[in-house]
Each structure stands twice: as C-alpha cells, then as structure tokens.
Amino acid sequence: MRFTSEQRLDDGVLEREFTLGEIPGILWTPGSASASAPAPLILLGHPGGLHKMYPRLVARARHSAAEGFAAATIELPGSGDRPRSAAADEARADLHRALEAGKPVDDEIAARLILPLVEKSVPEWRAALDAFLALPEIGGPVGYAGGVIGIGIRLAVVEPRISAALLFAGSYLPRSMVEEARQVTIPLHVLLQWDDEGNDRQLALDLFDAFGSEEKTLQANMGGHTGVPRFAGDNGNRFFARHLK
Amino acid sequence: MRFTSEQRLDDGVLEREFTLGEIPGILWTPGSASASAPAPLILLGHPGGLHKMYPRLVARARHSAAEGFAAATIELPGSGDRPRSAAADEARADLHRALEAGKPVDDEIAARLILPLVEKSVPEWRAALDAFLALPEIGGPVGYAGGVIGIGIRLAVVEPRISAALLFAGSYLPRSMVEEARQVTIPLHVLLQWDDEGNDRQLALDLFDAFGSEEKTLQANMGGHTGVPRFAGDNGNRFFARHLK
C-alpha cells in the first residue's frame, strides 16, 4: 500500500489516499488514533466510482471517526479510473434497457451484473484488509458497511476477520446469493428503503430471512433510494459500537 | 382520578397506583419531574393484566423516566380485576383451540377478539389521558408505546394529542384494521419479532406498508415473541426523544 496524498479534515480526521497495486483507495483515521490504542476498522462499501461517491463516503467516515472507528474503502473493478470490463458494461446496458422499458430486472441480468463483480472484488477487499491491519494505527475488530450487498454477503461468508456487517438491502442481487446468505453467521444490521421503487422488496425480505445469523436486525425506513434518514446512520453506529468495541 | 398508593423507586421514579372510575392504573413520573418542567408522557400499552405485566411495565417506565418521560398505563376491559366479558372469553377460547390444533388464527376470530376490545378501551385511554394531562407534573407531547396494536392504531387515528407511536406488530389483528392503518399519519416506530412463530409476518408487513405516515420505521429483530433485544428499546427511546421533546 502506497500513500499518495494526506490531509487533515477540520474535525481532526486524517484522510489518506493510497494505491494498492492498481487499486486506488482512501483511509480515514480518527484524530485521536495515533495517540491512543489502535482503532477498530469499518470497511466502507459503495456501488463503484470513488470520486462520485466521495461526499457520501467522507460523511460516513467522519460519522464513524466520531465514534473512534477508522474507515477505509477501495475502488471497485471496472469503476472510476480502473479499466472497464466489456462484460460488465454489457450487463449494465441491459439493466438500463430493462429499467427504461419499465420491466423488472430479471435474475439473469442481476447475475451477470453482480457475480463477476463479487468474484473479482472480494479478493481485493481481503488484500486491502491485510494492508490496513498491518498499519500500527489500525487494530481489529473489523466491520463492513454498505453496498454492493453481494460483496458484503460474500465477505461475511469467506473473511473471518469481519465481525459484523451493516448491509443495504436494495441493490441488485441474484437469487443464488440469497442461498449463499444462509452461510452468514456474524451479527447483521440490514437497512431497507421501504418505498424505493427500483428495489425488489420481496427479494430483500427473503434475503433477510435467509441470513443464518443469530443476531440480525432489519430496519426499514421511508425516504427513497438515497434518503436513508440520519437516525438510521446513528443506529448503525451503535450497532458497530456494540460489536466492534 | 384517585391515587390509591405511592412509592418512590430506588432510581427516584415516583410510582402511583390510581383508579379512574372502575379502572385501575399506574403512573410513573421521573424523580426530577416536580422540580423541572412538566414531563412528556408515554402511554404504555400491554395485552391486559396489570399484575402479570407489572415487571415488564415498570422496566419500560424506568427506561422512559431515565430519558425524562413520564409513563402511565391502565387496565384493559375484561382483564385483571375488571369484570370479564363472556364474548371476549369465548373468542379467547376459540383462539386457544385454533392454536392447540396448529391451525392459523383466522380473521373472524381476530375480529371477535380485537374489535370489541378496541371499541371499549380506546375511550378509556382517552379519558385517562384527560386526567393525566390535568396533573401539573405532566405536560405534552404524548406518545403511545406497546400493544395491543389495534388499540395503538385506533388511538393514532382518533386522538390528536398523540404525536408519535411505537407499536409491536405481532399481536392478532383483523384485516379491517390494516385498512384503518392507512389513516394513521403520525411518526411510527414499528417493532416486529421476525422469528415469532405465533405471529403472522405477512400481515405485519402489510400493516407496516399500509400506514399513511411520512416517517415510519420497521425494526425487525430475532429472539422470539418476548425476546425484544435491549438495543431495540434504546432505539425506541431515541424515537420518542426525537418526537416528544
């Protein structure tokens, strides 16, 4: 991991951009991190495109830092400045055609869109986790928060260093990954925007039901796809405070 | 309203039993209430039987008092020391027969069980609210928290002094009241025990969808019918803190 820039935000959070091989990413550590014990870490998932997502990511990172958590994210394959994938672009075009025609997004499109992304990005997140945990200012435990929900599910299944996950149910997901969710056993906090018309609500409810975790909470709110209320973020922070401290 | 007993709990909460006509009830006020501004009030709903429910009610009242809320409850018609109703007893017997036979509780039984209870108890809750708000130590705004969910729905529709409600989706409810829920517009926090086998989960989800409120949150947790986790109660307190303060 090579740091390429560093700035101190006004609330004392240290923001560092880095590259890990070809993959760009951002690491945020609380102002108090170097002085005190190593901080627990929250991996911030997102739908791809670090520049576009930056305002929302930095807001979530600052919210987490206020509770003493470090936060980090990496670019997804095929997004932002990373090389595009012809197959992924084609799946995305088919998705948009279906949406414009007012058709439901069928399982075959969701599978072409999500499965290769999960296959490629999950090893990258795990390699990034190796690098984050090698830093003296980062300790464990580790949580995963955000989309792409398929990435969160796969990470929760294969990565034993992830202790808890906050997932957004509402992005596209092939049915095969609902089955995979039965293998998840870590504590989960699942957010669902109830009135998001682009979202398959029944799939989200089936997914929540499938998770094998003994502690799982589904919190459904109003406000559309990007209108997750502030108090839902606060509840998410408290979820991590219970499980990562 | 006539107070019949008074005791100071070890956390300073003042617990007073009262009767309102024939109806027994309990009022809890925070230790700081008389010294400071009138406290907002949370009406504590329950399935009937104040003596049996006391441990859970007093725990919820203390939890609320710690946030500066007064709390109060009254006995339901046909429960505890109040005169029984032959029709209600018959409906309850039919319910138990259905449960013992492993049959689903049909809408006709739910209607016989719940509708007369709602018709009779809602005016009693409103009369009790008149009496509570006449006390100098109780101010507004007012919230309703708990079961019977049919009572909570009807109160939210007809009683303009109730500003927010925390409802447990998971008790019996006739389908006609799902329609009535469309008229509810106050902020709602709805708790659902996801793995409660005695609970009609689809009915609970349909009910949540029906509520007309712009702000409504569904929080589903594991732990069976009576296993609502402690953090869910904390989230409920914060819901009331947002809306009653």
- So what's the pLDDT on residue B245? 85
Identify the bridge partners of residue A14 per DSSP, sorted by sequence position. Answer: A8, A29
Domain count, chain A: 1
pLDDT, tens digit, 9 for 90 and up, residues B192-238: 999 988 788 999 999 999 999 999 999 999 988 888 888 888 888 89
Q: CB-CB: which of A208, A216, A231 is closest to B242?
A: A231
Residue B100 lies inside a defined structural domain of this protein: no
pLDDT, tens digit, 9 for 90 and up, residues A161-184: 999 999 999 778 999 999 999 999
Residue, of B85 and A198, whose pLDDT is higher? B85
Average pLDDT on A103-114 reads: 89
- So what's the pLDDT on residue A228? 87
The residue of chain B with its CA nearest to that of A192 is B218
A219, A230, A237: which to substitute to probe chain B, counting the most B Cβ within 10 Å?
A219
Range of the structural domain that residue A226 is part of: 2-83+116-244
ipTM, interface predicted TM-score of the complex: 0.85
Residue A108 lies inside a defined structural domain of this protein: no
Q: Rounded to whole angstroms, how far apart are CA atoms B192 and A122?
A: 33
- So what's the pLDDT on residue A201? 93
- CB–CB contact A219 B221 (8 Å): no
Three-state secondary structure along chain A?
CEEEEEEECCCCCEEEEEEECCEEEEEEECCCCCCCCCEEEEEECCCCCHHHHHHHHHHHHHHHHCCCCEEEEECCCCCCCCCCCHHHHHHHHHHHHHHHCCCCCCHHHHHHHHHHHHHHHHHHHHHHHHHHHCCCCEEEEEEEECCCHHHHHHHHHHCCCEEEEEEEECCCCCHHHHHHHHHCCCCEEEEEECCCCCCCHHHHHHHHHHCCCCCEEEEEECCCCCCCCHHHHHHHHHHHHHHHC
Residues of B at the A interface (Cβ-Cβ below 8 Å)? 194, 205, 208-209, 214-222, 229, 231-232, 234-235, 238-239, 242
Measured CA angle at B59 (ends B57, B64), to 5 deg: 95
Cβ neighbours of B242 in A, within 8 Å: 231
Average pLDDT on A130-148 reads: 94
Whether B214 contacts B242, CB under 8 Å: no
Task: Kindly tell me if the per-residue pLDDT of A123 is higher than 60.
Answer: yes
Residue B99 lies inside a defined structural domain of this protein: no
Average pLDDT on A199-204 reads: 91
Task: Kindly tell me if the per-residue pLDDT of A35 is higher than 70.
Answer: no
Q: CB-CB: which of B209, B215, B217 is closest to A219?
A: B217
Residue B93 lies inside a defined structural domain of this protein: no
- So what's the pLDDT on residue A33? 55
Task: Kindly tell me if the per-residue pLDDT of A198 is higher than 80.
Answer: no
Give the residues of chain B that fall short of pLDDT 50: none
- So what's the pLDDT on residue A224? 87
Task: Kindly tell me if the per-residue pLDDT of A130 is higher than 70.
Answer: yes
User: Percentage of chain A with pLDDT > 90?
Assistant: 80
Residue A66 lies inside a defined structural domain of this protein: yes
- So what's the pLDDT on residue B34? 53
Nearest CA of chain A to the CA of B138: how many Å? 27
Residue B60 lies inside a defined structural domain of this protein: yes
Residue A97 lies inside a defined structural domain of this protein: no
- So what's the pLDDT on residue B207? 96
Whether A172 contacts A105, CB under 8 Å: yes
Q: CB-CB: which of A213, A217, A222 is closest to B216?
A: A222
Average pLDDT on A173-196 reads: 96
- So what's the pLDDT on residue B171? 76
- So what's the pLDDT on residue B16? 98
pLDDT, tens digit, 9 for 90 and up, residues B79-95: 999 999 999 999 999 98
Residue B88 lies inside a defined structural domain of this protein: no
CATH (domain of B54):
3.40.50.1820
